[in-house]
Structure 1
Amino acid sequence: MDRIRIVGGNRINGRIPISGAKNAALPLMIASLLTDDTLTLENVPHLADVEQLIRILGNHGVDYSVNGRRERQIEGYSRTVNFTARSIVDTTAPYELVSKMRASFWVIGPLLARMGEAKVSLPGGCAIGTRPVDLFLEGLQALGARIDVENGYVIAKTNGRLTGNRYIFPKVSVGATHVLMMAASLAKGETVLENAAREPEIVNLADCLNAMGARISGAGTSTIVIDGVDSLSGARHQVIPDRIETGTYAMAVAMAGGDVILEGARADLLQGALDVIAQTGTEIIPVNSGIRVRRNGSGIMPVDVTTEPFPGFPTDLQAQFMGLMTMAEGKSRITETIFENRFMHVQELARLGARITLAGQTAIVDGVPRLKGAPVMATDLRASVSLVIAGLAAEGETVVNRVYHLDRGFERLEEKLSGCGATIERLSS
């Protein structure tokens, strides 16, 4: 099993290219199930989760090619991938595939809308708390689906097409908004989704579906209106740059000190998080090629933060920010409101010398003047990169184990950081 070795203390300077967003690419790939034409996606990141979803879509009959040909090893960063679901050969998404990645459960919407039936295993995923699928199922039922749960599988059926309806989400859910927006695109009549998620990835999906012939308005607001159409065509669409990767590298610069251009980054996708990072004493400067992040060696100021749905501070940056706050000049409070079990990185940061106390869903971080390298264990995707951030400033050597978590969401992380002067390398078993 691979590990990542970091020797802390180096400032990072240079340029880091920001990859396509995993959280945008996955629903866009799933949208290919809605049409028998080819959907071409540009800026698709080369990640373990993307490769896993390619396998899952292949199980349903989706063919794919990379830059016009089948490839496994791709030079460079994000790719252009063609997805063609000429015919759906299987409407079952089995446990052995879905259990490896939660987002694969989302195929239930397009399969039901196009084929009138779907049998999808209840999802698995990384251990950051329960994320029930109730909202997905309630929403699909509002569109006329019959839902049964048997032996760990959701069995969804409809007589003919789904039917447009009004659905109010009891709580904001990005995944359920993705699924219902896709399903309603082929429903008969108008669907109104209220209290919908507003994340940039929702807008990216809506733009793609509209390019395929859907009629969607209001994406990016809490009310989305979908006027269903009989069929969708193919399209060419670009995956937005990854705002979580952008925020992560911005925090890495804030932690280690230095001056980095995040190439291709878009400030509008994470302005709330950038405002928080700026409060730590880090300069955030929009430039033509992306975002410049600079900290000249001054101390890190403590900042209190609470995770919120977009446009608030993202839960997917909470662990990284905690890593940054471990060396702040004072006490900070980080409150997690999205997931109830997303502080698993606390004990591993403590191995590096961090002082963190938990009080319910709030972590109180008492900044220390220095961290010391140690072997640590990644528990999930975002927790693993928080350990990398801490390791960049820790004295001596930090070895992060279980880095397969990192490979799920960060494209060539060690190459991007080492290219800017960090001492970081992958150790293969």
Structure 2
Amino acid sequence: MDNNDFSSRAGASVGMTADAIRVRGGKPIQGRLKMKGAKNLVTKAMVAALLGQTPSELRSVPEISDVQVVRGLLEVYGVVVESDGDTLRLDPANVERAHETSINAHAGSSRIPILFCGPLLHRLGEAFIPDLGGCHIGDRPIDFHLDVLRNFGAVVDKLPTGIRMSAPEGLHGAKINLPYPSVGATEQVLLTAVMAKGRTELSGAAVEPEIMDLINILQKMGAVISVDTDRTIRIEGVDSLDGYSHTALFDRNEAASWACAALATGGDVFLEGAQQPEMITFLNVFRKAGGAFEVQDDGIRFWHPGGDLKPVVVETDVHPGFMTDWQQPLVVALAKANGISIVHETVYEQRFGFTEALVKMGAYIQIHTECLGSHACRFGQRNYQHSAVIAGPVELHGADITVPDLRGGFSHFVAALTAEGESTIKNVGIIARGYEHFLEKMQTLGVDFEVIG
């Protein structure tokens, strides 16, 4: 690697400030990485601290930009946030109203601000959220969130600059049925219901490991929450909550990403902190595709054992199914498999845009509107291109790529690792949203790269 003043270019606050990198592919990745707390849990746990009457402590917090966004918003509302290594201490004793301009300045393109609404309505009686951004991978309407908050008694006013909410009579329990087990809507219910008057029943809830860990945190704070086997969550509202002390669940999405990178490049990585229970479905597919893994007490080793990779048929689904965030880096490995693989995306309707760059690099991938899995999904007959056919093995070649979204961007990085020649990857800052110290980890794994922007 060309260091090019590596330490200053990497960016201490979020792990990466580079605009572009040049990767020279064709080399297996090898090494050991430590998995920190899950991006999809840590930021929600930080929001939960708003509900406490006493300080909270959250451990294993990754240095990613989404954490910085939430920290900035909490500080705007008067929460004192202190960091010590990968530990955050959050004191909400002096929560106060914030100006719309300050909220907008810190929110950026993150969708996290919508989850502030319930806690802020409890603490301040009002909340404001700006226009929401996020990765462009399909429709992520906030209608679920707004309907949920209205059910709790919130008054929602749409303004040119965003959405303002108030709770003139306080929030009360509600009976809510989600038409689809939305993770965000489930989080919204949990963060709102725990201090709403009376009982809340949520049916059709998401039950991802990150949701369960958020429930663990809220229970530590004093909440009363039960989860049934039929995706029904019942919450009994309480008058007040205390702070929590918690070590965040590891990031299974990051673990799967690096595992797929090892499989695609013929490499070998040990992911410290990765755990088997949250990755059972991924591990099965990884093994079927020809990969090898070894579960140890302190993590999981993933490697390519040699020989041809095998084609697989995969359908993404809500937990305990195969996560949508896992399919994108896996597709790169499947381009190296000997045969025809099929990936049926049932969670987001527009998540195959990243394959255009892979085709440019030499992959043979066809995208279809039909449901090519074992069962029809909610996107069938709606002209969404949500099934992919991948034929391999192919040899990828270097190309100029612009990162479209978080997981798609990592997949492009994996493709560059496997490709012959050089690839230039632009807009790589998006990857810092979910992968802590991305440049440093590349260096640790022996990637031949340089920062060029």
Q: TM-score range by the shorter chain?
A: over 0.9
1:219 Cα deviation from its structure 2 partner = 7.7
The aligned amino acid for 2:39 is K
The residue that corresponds to 1:386 in the other structure is: 411
Alignment length, in residue pairs?
418
1:409 and 2:434 are equivalent in the alignment: yes
CA contact (8 A) 2:403 2:409 kept: yes
2:114 to 99, 105, 110: 105
Deviations 1:44-70 (A, max 9, x none): 100011111111121111110011xxx
Residue in 1 that maps onto 2:272: 263
Match of 2:422 in 1: 397
Cα offset, 1:206, TM superposition: 0.8
1:65 is aligned to 82
Aligned residue among 77, 82, 92 for 2:89: 82
* Contact 1:20–1:240 under 8 Å retained in 2: yes
1:373 is aligned to 2:398 = yes
Contact 1:60 1:90 in 2 (8 A): yes
Q: What is the aligned-residue RMSD (CA, Å)?
A: 1.8
Deviations 1:231-283 (A, max 9, x none): 11112111110000010011111111133221110121121122111111101
Shift in Å, 1:163: 1.1
Distance 2:81 2:212 in 1: 24
Deviates more, 1:244-253 or 1:310-319: 310-319
Secondary structure at the aligned position of 1:399 is classed as: strand
Give the Cα–Cα distance (whole angstroms) in 1 for the partners of residues 128 and 234 of structure 2: 27
1:21-420 equivalence runs, <5 A: 21-67=38-84, 79-90=86-97, 94-218=103-227, 222-360=231-369, 361-420=386-445
For 1:275-311, what per-residue CA distance to the aligned partner results, in whole angstroms no more than 9, with x for missing partners? Answer: 1111111012211111121212211111121111111
| Match of residue 71 from structure 1 | none
Instruction: Describe the SS at the equivalent of 2:60.
Output: strand
Which piece of structure 1 moves more, 85-94 or 124-133? Answer: 85-94
Deviation at 1:220, TM superposition (A): 8.2
AA partner of residue 285 (structure 1): E
Aligned counterpart, 2:3 = none
Q: What is the aligned partner in structure 2 of residue 70 from structure 1?
A: none
Residues 141-196 of structure 1: CA deviation (Å, up to 9, x unaligned): 22222223232522222234311122111111101111110111111111111111
Aligned mates of 1:230, 1:369 — CA distance in 2: 60
Structure 1, unmatched stretches of 5+, are 68-73
Q: TM-score, normalised by structure 2?
A: 0.88
1:327–1:370 contact (8 Å) kept in structure 2: yes
Superposed CA deviations along residues 339-381 of structure 1, whole A, max 9, x for unmatched, are 1221221111122111111112111112233111122111110
Paired residues of 2:55 and 2:92 also in contact (CA < 8 A): yes
Q: Hey, what's the Cα distance between the residues in 2 that align with 1:421 and 1:98?
A: 35
Distance 1:380 1:353 in 2: 21
Kindly state the Cα deviation for residue 12 of structure 1 after the two structures are TM-superposed.
2.6
- The 8 Å contact of residues 29 and 446 in structure 2, kept in 1 or not, is answered as yes
Partner of 2:15: none
Contact 1:19 1:241 in 2 (8 A): yes
SS where residue 244 of structure 1 aligns? Answer: helix
- 1:107-141 per-residue CA deviation (whole Å, 9 max, x = no partner) reads 11211122222122241122112211111111122
Cα distance between partner residues in 1 of 2:247 and 2:228: 17
AA aligned opposite 2:341: S
Which residue pairs with 1:2 in the alignment? 19
User: For the Cα contact (< 8 Å) 1:91–1:111, is it kept in 2?
Assistant: no
Q: Which amino acid aligns with 1:58?
A: E
Question: Alpha carbons of 1:219 and 1:65: their partners in 2 closer, same or farther (altered >3 Å)?
Answer: farther
Distance 1:52 1:336, change over 3 A: same
Partner Cα distance (1:29, 1:358) in 2: 38
Measure, in 1, the Cα distance between the counterparts of 2:115 and 2:452. 33
Runs of at least 5 residues in structure 2 that lack an aligned partner in the other structure: 1-17, 370-385
The alpha-carbon distance between structure 1 residues 86 and 428, as it changes in their structure 2 partners (threshold 3 A), is: farther
Deviation at 1:5, TM superposition (A): 2.5
Identity %: 36
2:143 partner letter: D
* Offset, 1:221: 6.2
The one-letter code of the counterpart of 1:18 is M
Which of 219-228 and 35-44 deviates more?
219-228
Aligned-pair CA distance for 1:14: 2.8
CA distance in 2, matches of 1:293, 1:4: 26
In the alignment, the residues of structure 2 paired with residue 44 and residue 347 of structure 1 have an alpha-carbon distance, to the nearest angstrom, of: 34
